[in-house]
Chain A
């Protein structure tokens, strides 16, 4: 798993069937990456529901949140509409898990992303990372603390 001080590997992933997100385009903003195993599973849903409520707190720290799983763009679309999720869920779908592998958070045994968080600064450097037990919702306290530290530096 990539750690503080490492360069965040660049990627371009589908956010919707019609729109892609390119990490490099987000330079100048802090970026929170939330890798998670699957849409619809109970813990992920709670985690994404919580982050959905947190968007305006993240904005205060000039931070944008991206969810990433190996689910396809149409699956994300259905999940996001059902839960009224207002941030991008990216599809690490083809080649499967490539971005998760680049960040060192791919669970080969199950073919899904691990539950992991990264906070990347405005220059594209990882400033915080955290691997959560797969059945545990990591909450957002660690993210807020990392963003606070960035602000104070």
Chain B
């Protein structure tokens, strides 16, 4: 190739970085002084993300206080009918300090996902349902999810799930995250 320009390649394929870095707006689980920071861009209806959900559970058990886990929304709403609804439901739960409860509940019951299930789960995790349904409609919540999505694209997310370890994109198989983190 006569017009090969390595700098163009390196810019995109050399370990894209997380933009923006983890901040106060993020949903964070784990100690602030943890040495390992794992960020996932995920879609609540994506079956691979469900598999990764169980992988992350194992990571949290194995690495305990060494690990800080962050979840950002990357709903592929054209491919997955309820992905956006589910992302909004998790964000609405966050407004009542139940993000992780909702996040876990949705992944646990992903095969049954639909609008009715989201309401059922909202009830089960103990949300104020009136507030929940109002928040679901709020344009602010939608822009929050879209901001997550756009940050994902800028960070080099090209499918779900995509993981970042200490700010750098992890290009390997998520099932091998645990052995990667040990290194």
Contacts and interface: CB of A to CB of B under 8 A. Distances in A.
Interface of A: 1, 3, 46-47, 49-50, 52-54, 57, 83-86, 104, 130-133, 136-142, 144
B47 interface: no
Assign chain B's interface to a size class: 20 to 34
Contacts of B156: 139, 141
B85 to A, nearest CB: 15
Contact of A86 (B3, B78, B154): B78
Interface string B151-164: 00111111100000
B119 to A, nearest CB: 25
Contacts of A85: 78
Q: Interface majority SS on B: helix, strand, loop or mixed?
A: loop
A118 B1 CA distance: 17
Interface stretch (B10-18, B89-97, B107-115, B131-139): B10-18
A1 B1 contact: yes
Given A137-B158, A142-B12, A52 B79 contact: yes
A18 to B, nearest CB: 23
B3 A49 contact: no
Nearest to A136: B13
A4 B158 CA distance: 24
11 contacts: A49-B79, A53-B77, A53-B78, A84-B78, A130-B12, A131-B9, A132-B13, A137-B159, A139-B157, A142-B11, A144-B154
B79 A141 contact: no
A52 B77 CA distance: 9
B149 interface: yes
Interface string B67-100: 0000000001111000000000000000000000
B153 A57 contact: yes
